[in-house]
Structure 1
Amino acid sequence: MSTVDKVRTISEPIAEELGYDLVDVEYVKEGKHWFLRLYIDKENGVDLDDCALYSERIEEVLDTIQPDPIPHAYYLEVSSPGAERPLKTEKDFQNAVGKYIHLTLHEAVEGESVYEGTLKEWNTDDLVITIKIKTRRKDIVIDTSKIAKARLAIEF
């Protein structure tokens, strides 16, 4: 099991207990330092106090687990996923229906491998995104297996 998976398993129940959704976990090396980043959210968004509370609780738990699930010294960061949060889970996509999203695809659909538009429908097999082409709108059906990355986007 990867470090990210171990931390997610430990962190999700604590997030739920405090009323948060654990959106994402990253364990990355930047320069000579390791960073453990946990992204949390809740219905009306999180603030600095939410991040501090969750950080304290996670730190208490991670410091007591033996053997240590994290192999290196690291900096712990807890934050909001931001306005352009990633969409990774079924729940993320379900919650994004009706919202503006950005998709990067492994394989082109209708000649394009990047789309931005409103997520109209979603199920485990495919999704429908409504894109704007000049003054008209068009629905594109995309097989979910072709999605490399997805995130919420800000519409301009």
Structure 2
Amino acid sequence: MPTPQSPRSGPVATDRLTGWFAPVVAEAGYDLEDLDVRAAGNRFVVRVVVDRDSGVSLDDVAEVSRALSDVLDAEDDDLGRSPYVLEVTSPGVDRPLTLPRHWRRNEGRLVTTTVGGQELLGRVVSVDDDGVTLAVEKGGAKKGQVRKAVGDRTVSWAELGEGRVQVEFNRPAGHRDAHLVHEGPDDDAGDDTDDEPLTADDVDDELDEHDGSADAAAQDRGEQ
């Protein structure tokens, strides 16, 4: 069995697999957000990230995994008959917002971004061909502090920097990840700070437990 080498992992293999996978993922109704191939001992790990406007469920991940596994089986000789692990997942909340579709899929969520070197905190109100409209907020840097709305601001794509989603306990009703909301204990109902979103530093543990990504069960194939 050949030892994994650079032509079968890294940029060369990533470009090759992207050419195989992109049409299959698109035909199934998803966007191919990321693809990475790396050597792990005597096998390769092929990690694929997919997404779509309505989100990605575990059933969706399983569907895409089967389709991509069939592609890898069909291209077996080109892979050098080396064992591989295929991992299909949806993007986590820590994925940076860099494309218009990323922003569109996060309407209603609180994000940070930079505009002209200035960091802005705001909720994504709308996304169109011209740019993003944010309901800008200030303050609330620490737990329990109240943020204040300072008005909407429309930022063009040309001046909009990379966005980062801020983790909140309470998300707008009807949002695609509203089911991830953490409901506090009843005896906290009287605390007037409980409804305030927390910063990312305050909720690292919450992220680990409630990450919105749908991780696929790895699919192993032995040497033929």
Normalised TM-score (structure 2):
0.48
**Structure 1 residues 28, 108: closer, same or farther in 2, change over 3 A?**
farther
Partner of 1:152: 165
**Structure 1 residues 35, 117: closer, same or farther in 2, change over 3 A?**
farther
8 Å contact kept, 1:99–1:118 = yes
Q: Which amino acid aligns with 1:51?
A: V
Distance in 2 (CA, whole Å) between partners of 1:130 and 1:29 is: 44
Distance in 1 (CA, whole Å) between partners of 2:42 and 2:156 is: 40
CA displacement 1:48-103 (0-9 Å, x = unmatched) = 22212211211211232377369x75421001213444433332234444432243
Question: Does 2:114 align with 1:109?
Answer: no
Q: Which amino acid aligns with 1:88?
A: T
CA displacement 1:14-62 (0-9 Å, x = unmatched) = 1222232323223346789753211223343322222122112112112
8 Å contact kept, 1:121–1:127 = yes
**Structure 1 residues 153, 5: closer, same or farther in 2, change over 3 A?**
farther
CA displacement 1:94-152 (0-9 Å, x = unmatched) = 4444432243x6x9713x4xx442234657886554431132425484764773x4343
Count of matched residue pairs: 149
Question: Does 2:55 align with 1:45?
Answer: yes
Normalised TM-score (structure 1):
0.64
1:6-155 aligned at under 5 Å gives the runs: 6-28=16-38, 34-65=44-75, 68=78, 74-103=84-113, 109-110=117-118, 112=119, 115-120=120-125, 127=132, 129-134=134-139, 135-137=148-150, 139=153, 141=155, 144=158, 147=161, 149-155=162-168
CA RMSD of aligned residues (A): 3.8
Q: Which amino acid aligns with 2:71?
A: V
Between 1 and 2, higher relative CO (CA 8 Å, sep ≥ 6) is seen in: 2
For the pair shown, which has the larger CA radius of gyration, 1 or 2?
Answer: 2
Structure 1 counterpart SS, 2:78: coil
8 Å contact kept, 1:84–1:154 = no
Distance in 1 (CA, whole Å) between partners of 2:121 and 2:79 is: 38
Q: Please, which runs of 5 or more residues in structure 2 have no aligned partner? A: 1-10, 140-147, 169-196, 198-224
Q: Normalized per residue, which structure has more strand?
A: 1
8 Å contact kept, 1:38–1:78 = yes
**Structure 1 residues 29, 154: closer, same or farther in 2, change over 3 A?**
farther
